[in-house]
């Protein structure tokens, strides 16, 4: 894919360096077009070294090559990251006073703007109107992330992480590999919380990162994705609809509803096995040294229920639906992680069970993972190790191979 990466003059330009490097390492041909202001943050030498191409900012440089027309026609996708309030305003009004804005007027491919600025600037009526205008014209504009900004400020306006921007660019590739195009995918992520009283709950350490990576990868492959997210604080992946839930019963209801017509269902969420029989209406107080006894009742097995419903004869049955489960296991005196995983694969009946070793808790909230893919008979169908995005892509490769 041929990508023009426009960089406007904001401090978040340093993140664009990682975007350019990632796109280049993936084999895409990248040409960087910074504004003059952007070069105050990252210099020409950096852009040229990472892209392998010379860098210009002005339409009056090498006039005989008519760069703004040539670049616009050449690009399969144009990305602008960061897109400052000034750049958004100039683009919305059709200005062409430097090489980047002139290129935006000549391109026929999709354009992706990734804004980054202070919260007040992002929320100003002028910026809101400019973003609305660009979106009406078909420009893809990502909402900025919330978090730490320049200085001590925090709020919406932070540039999304480079991996998210790369995923959004790849999703726009007109010639991209999109084997899930036209397919519906439902993914669960995070960890459920079972309330004890108004302030306490039984929960687990799942951050939701692996589930979000699975949803993000599915969207990249062309799927329509619904993400049922339990107690997560992660940025929504581009092109993904999120359904927030809290407890295991809420997750069950949301999954059964969303999965009805889905082509693939992936249960990555860590669903609590038990919940309290009774939930106190007030905060439970300590009673001296007396122990507290909490009676628990078993939660429904959502994965098993999905498999059972698929095999039924009701109106919600979808016989060709693929179901993928996750099993976080630790070894013990009764068997290894893989032993427990194989037993669970045979018991659950999902098409694929993704088994990972969570001994010591190192996987939780981590950016990496190591997993084994088992089929319904407990046979190994592959392994994956690396970042959670890498594992997610290997998961979809395994799913497509089974289909």
Task: Report the 3 state secondary structure along the chain.
Answer: CEEEEEECCCCCHHHHHHHHHHHHHCCCEEEEEECCCHHHCCCHHHHHHHHCCCCCCCCCCCHHHCHHHHHHHHCCEEEEEEECHHHHHHHHCCCCCCHHHHHHHHCCCCEEEEECCCHHHHHCHHHHHHHHHHHHCCCEECCCEEEECCCCCEEEEECCCHHHHHHHHHCCCCCCCCCCCCCEEEEEEEECCEECCCCCEECCCCCCHHHHHHHHHHHHCCCEEEEEEECCCCCCCCCEEEEEECCHHHHHHHHHHHHHHCCEEEECCECCCEEECCCCCCCCCCCCCCCCCCCEEECCCHHHHHHHHHCCCCCCCCCCCEEEEEEEECCECCECHHHHHHHHHHHHCCCEEEEEECHHHCCCCCCEEEEEEEECCCCEEEEEEEEHHHHHHHHHHHHHHHC
Of 40, 130, 204, 299, the active-site residue reads: 204
pLDDT tens, residue by residue, 283-295: 999 888 889 899 9
CATH number of 2-170: 3.40.50.1950
- Measured CA distances, 74 to 77, 83, 103, 163 (Å): 9, 21, 10, 24
53-62 CB contacts, 8 Å cutoff, 24+ apart: 56/99, 57/33, 57/98, 57/99, 57/100, 58/98, 58/99, 59/96, 59/98, 59/99, 59/102, 61/99
Count CA within 13 A, CB hemisphere, residue 107: 29
pLDDT of res. 18 = 93
| Residue 204 annotated in active site | yes
Q: Write out the residue limits of the CATH 3.40.50.1950 domain(s) in the chain.
A: 2-170
Structure-block tokens of residue 53: 């191409």
pLDDT of res. 115 = 96
Instruction: Over range 176-195, report the average pLDDT.
Output: 91
As a whole number of angstroms, the distance between CA 29 and CA 60 comes to: 24
Quick one: pLDDT band at residue 63, thresholds 50, 70, 90? low
Choice among 3-12, 36-45, 157-166, 264-273 with the minimum mean pLDDT: 157-166
As a whole number of angstroms, the distance between CA 35 and CA 83 comes to: 11
pLDDT of res. 316 = 63
Calculate what percentage of the chain has a pLDDT beyond 90: 69
As a whole number of angstroms, the distance between CA 169 and CA 6 comes to: 13
Farthest CA pair distance, the chain:
87
pLDDT of res. 68 = 55
Quick one: pLDDT band at residue 62, thresholds 50, 70, 90? low
Bridge-based pairing state of the strands 154-158 and 184-190:
unpaired
Are 239 and 291 in contact, with CB atoms under 8 Å apart?
no
53 pLDDT above the threshold of 60? yes
pLDDT of res. 313 = 59
pLDDT tens, residue by residue, 104-153: 999 988 999 999 999 999 999 999 999 999 999 999 999 998 887 777 77
Choice among 88-97, 248-257, 385-394 with the minimum mean pLDDT: 385-394
pLDDT of res. 67 = 59
As a whole number of angstroms, the distance between CA 341 and CA 5 comes to: 45
The fold adopted by the segment(s) 184-402 is Rossmann fold (3.40.50)
pLDDT of res. 315 = 57
User: Which residues does 157 contact at the CB level (< 8 Å), separation at least 6?
Assistant: 115, 116, 117, 118, 119, 121, 122, 144, 146, 149
User: Which residues does 344 contact at the CB level (< 8 Å), separation at least 6?
Assistant: 325, 327, 329, 353, 355
Quick one: pLDDT band at residue 196, thresholds 50, 70, 90? very high
CA 385, 390, 392, 396 torsion-angle sign: negative
pLDDT of res. 80 = 98
Q: Write out the residue limits of the CATH 3.40.50.10300 domain(s) in the chain.
A: 184-402
Instruction: Over range 152-163, report the average pLDDT.
Output: 85
pLDDT of res. 72 = 83
pLDDT tens, residue by residue, 256-309: 999 998 999 999 999 999 999 999 999 999 888 889 899 999 999 999 999 999
Instruction: Round the average pLDDT of the chain to a whole number and report it.
Output: 90
């Amino acid at each position: 894919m041929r990508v023009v990466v426009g960089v406007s003059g904001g401090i978040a330009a340093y993140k664009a360096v990682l975007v350019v490097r990632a796109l280049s390492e993936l084999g895409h041909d990248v040409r960087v077009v910074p504004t003059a202001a952007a070069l105050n943050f990252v210099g020409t030498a950096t852009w040229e070294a990472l892209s392998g191409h010379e860098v210009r900012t002005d339409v009056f440089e090498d006039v005989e090559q008519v760069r703004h027309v040539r670049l616009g026609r050449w690009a399969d996708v144009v990305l602008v990251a960061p897109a400052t309030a000034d750049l958004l305003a100039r683009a919305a009004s059709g200005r062409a006073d430097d090489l980047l804005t002139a290129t935006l007027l000549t391109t026929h491919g999709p354009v992706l703007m990734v804004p980054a600025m202070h919260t007040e600037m992002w929320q100003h009526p002028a910026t809101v109107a400019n973003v609305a205008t660009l979106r009406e014209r078909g420009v893809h504009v990502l909402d900025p992330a919330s978090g730490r900004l320049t200085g001590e400020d925090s709020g919406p306006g932070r540039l999304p992480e480079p991996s998210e921007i790369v995923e959004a660019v790849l999703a726009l590739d007109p010639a991209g590999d999109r084997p899930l195009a036209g397919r519906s995918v439902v993914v669960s992520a995070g960890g459920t919380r079972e309330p004890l009283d108004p302030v306490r709950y039984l929960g687990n350490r799942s951050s939701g990162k692996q589930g979000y990576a699975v949803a993000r990868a599915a969207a990249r492959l062309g799927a329509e994705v619904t993400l049922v997210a339990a107690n997560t604080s992660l940025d929504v992946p581009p092109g993904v609809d999120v359904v927030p839930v809290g407890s295991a019963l809420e997750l069950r209801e949301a999954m059964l509803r969303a999965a009805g017509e889905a082509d693939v269902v992936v249960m990555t969420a860590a669903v609590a096995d038990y919940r309290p029989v009774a939930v106190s209406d007030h905060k439970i107080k300590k009673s001296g040294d007396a122990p507290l006894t909490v009676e628990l009742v078993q939660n429904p097995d959502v994965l098993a229920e999905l498999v059972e419903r698929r095999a039924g004869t009701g109106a919600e049955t979808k016989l060709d639906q693929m179901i993928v489960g996750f099993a976080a296991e630790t070894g013990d005196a009764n068997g290894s992680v893989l032993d427990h995983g194989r037993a669970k694969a045979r018991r659950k009946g999902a098409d694929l069970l993704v088994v990972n070793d969570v001994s010591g808790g190192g996987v939780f909230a981590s950016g990496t993972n190591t997993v084994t893919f088992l089929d319904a008979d407990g046979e190994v169908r592959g392994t994956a190790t690396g970042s959670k995005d890498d594992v997610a892509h290997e998961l979809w490769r395994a799913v497509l191979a089974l289909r």
